[in-house]
C-alpha cells in the first residue's frame, strides 16, 4: 500500500501556528481537505500468562459498520511507521475509514521537535480529531500516543461532549501514560535532571536511533497533563495490548493504569514475548483482533460527563 500525499491543517495562532500533516480516508478512499451489551467488565489476559482477572469470554454485540480508526503515534514516531501503515491497510481491507497524523516536529508536520510538549501535541490531536474526522471513531494510540489518546478522551468529555460521543473506544499499545513524570523524570539519574534544570535539555540515549532530546518544557508541561493515578471512568471500552518484555513501558506500568481506569470498561492482553514496538506479524494480528472486537461492540450510551 502506497501512502497518499498528506493534507495539512493549521493549528494554533500567531507564532504558535503550525501546519499539521495528516492522511485521511473514508472506506478506503482519501477524504477531501477539511475546511480550516456495552463491552464492560475490566479484565486482564496474557498469552501463556494466567491472570486471575482474565475474562476469556468478552461480551460482543452488533456495532455500526461505519466506525473508523484514528491513529496517534509514539514519541519521535510518525504516521508512516510500520504499525500506522499496517493499521491503514487493515482499515482499507475492512472498508473502514482511517485518519493518521504527525505531531509538530514529527514526520511531515511543521515545527521543531524540541518545541514539542504533551499539551501542544494534545492540542494538535484534538484539532485533527474534531476538524477532520467524522462519525464514530476508535482511537488507537501507541506508546506516547496512548497517553495522548487518554488525554484526548478526557478533554473531549470535559470540553467538547459533541465530539466525545463519537469516540467509541480506545485501543492502546504499550500506553505510556504520564510518561514525562513516571517514565522519564522519576527514572532519570541526578545528572540527567541537572542537565534539564540547568541546560534546558537532556540527550537521552535510545536503542532506536539518535538520542532523544528531553527538554525542560516537555517535563514542566507534562506536569500539567497528568492522570496522577486518580480514578478515571472512560465511559467506553478500553483495550490495551502490552508486551511483557517491554523495557520502555513495563508491564507494571500498564497494571497501574488498569488499576485507576474505573467503570469496568478495560481489558488488557499481554504478549508474553512482546517488546515495546509490537510490530511483528503476530503482534499486528493481535491488534487487529482487538480492533475487530471493539468495532463489533454496541455504541456505549453517552455518560453524564460526556
Domain membership flag for residue 207: no
Q: What is the pLDDT of residue 43?
A: 56
Residues of the chain below pLDDT 70: 1-3, 27-65, 301-306
Q: What is the CATH number of the domain that holds 174?
A: 3.40.50.1820
Q: Is 222 a domain residue?
A: no
DSSP assignment of 213-266: EEEHHHHHHHTTS--TT--B--SS-EEEEEETT-SSS-HHHHHHHHHHB-SS-E
Residue 286 lies in a domain: yes
Domain that holds residue 72: 7-55+63-180+233-295
- Specify the number of domains making up the chain: 1
- Examine residue 213 and state whether it is found in any structural domain, yes or no: no
Contact 132, 166 (CB under 8 A): no
Q: What are phi and psi of 137, to 5 degrees?
A: -135, 145
* pTM score, whole prediction: 0.88
Predicted confidence (pLDDT) per residue in 193-235, tens digit: 999 999 999 999 887 778 999 999 999 999 999 999 999 999 9
CB 268 within 8 A of CB 258: yes
In a domain, 212, yes or no: no
Report yes or no on 303 lying in a domain: no
Q: Is residue 132 part of a domain?
A: yes
Strands 209-215 and 201-206: antiparallel
Is 306 within the bounds of a domain? no
Give Cα separations from 70 to 154, 168, 195 (angstroms).
16, 11, 36
pLDDT of 131-142, one tens digit each? Answer: 999 999 999 999
CA separation for the pair 119, 284 (Å, rounded) = 29
Amino acid at each position: 500500500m502506497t501512502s497518499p500525499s498528506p493534507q495539512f491543517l493549521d493549528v494554533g495562532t500567531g507564532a504558535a501556528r503550525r501546519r499539521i500533516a495528516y492522511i485521511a480516508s473514508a472506506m478506503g478512499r482519501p477524504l477531501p481537505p477539511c475546511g480550516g451489551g456495552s463491552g464492560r467488565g475490566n479484565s486482564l489476559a496474557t498469552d501463556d500468562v494466567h491472570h486471575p482477572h482474565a475474562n476469556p469470554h468478552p461480551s460482543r454485540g452488533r456495532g455500526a459498520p461505519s466506525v473508523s480508526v484514528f491513529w496517534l503515534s509514539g514519541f519521535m514516531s510518525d504516521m508512516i511507521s510500520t504499525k500506522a501503515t499496517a493499521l491503514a491497510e487493515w482499515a482499507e481491507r475492512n472498508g473502514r475509514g482511517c485518519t493518521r497524523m504527525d505531531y509538530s516536529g514529527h514526520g511531515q508536520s511543521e515545527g521543531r521537535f524540541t518545541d514539542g510538549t504533551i499539551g501542544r501535541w494534545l492540542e494538535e490531536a484534538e484539532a485533527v480529531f474534531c476538524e477532520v474526522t467524522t462519525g464514530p471513531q476508535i482511537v488507537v494510540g501507541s506508546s506516547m500516543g496512548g497517553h495522548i489518546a487518554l488525554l484526548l478522551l478526557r478533554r473531549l468529555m470535559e470540553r467538547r461532549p459533541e465530539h466525545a460521543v463519537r469516540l467509541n473506544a480506545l485501543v492502546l499499545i504499550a500506553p505510556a501514560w504520564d510518561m514525562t513524570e513516571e517514565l522519564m523524570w522519576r527514572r532519570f539519574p541526578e545528572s540527567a535532571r541537572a542537565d534539564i534544570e540547568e541546560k534546558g535539555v537532556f540527550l537521552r540515549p535510545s536503542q532506536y536511533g539518535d538520542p532523544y532530546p528531553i527538554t525542560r518544557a516537555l517535563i514542566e508541561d507534562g506536569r500539567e497533563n497528568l492522570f496522577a493515578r486518580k480514578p478515571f471512568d472512560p465511559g467506553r471500552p478500553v483495550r490495551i495490548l502490552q508486551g511483557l518484555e517491554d523495557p520502555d513501558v513495563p508491564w507494571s506500568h500498564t497494571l497501574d493504569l488498569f488499576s485507576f481506569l474505573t467503570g469496568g470498561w478495560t481489558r488488557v492482553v499481554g504478549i508474553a514475548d512482546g517488546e515495546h514496538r509490537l510490530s511483528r506479524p503476530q503482534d499486528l494480528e493481535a491488534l487487529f483482533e482487538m480492533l475487530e472486537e471493539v468495532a463489533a461492540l454496541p455504541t456505549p450510551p453517552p455518560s453524564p460527563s460526556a
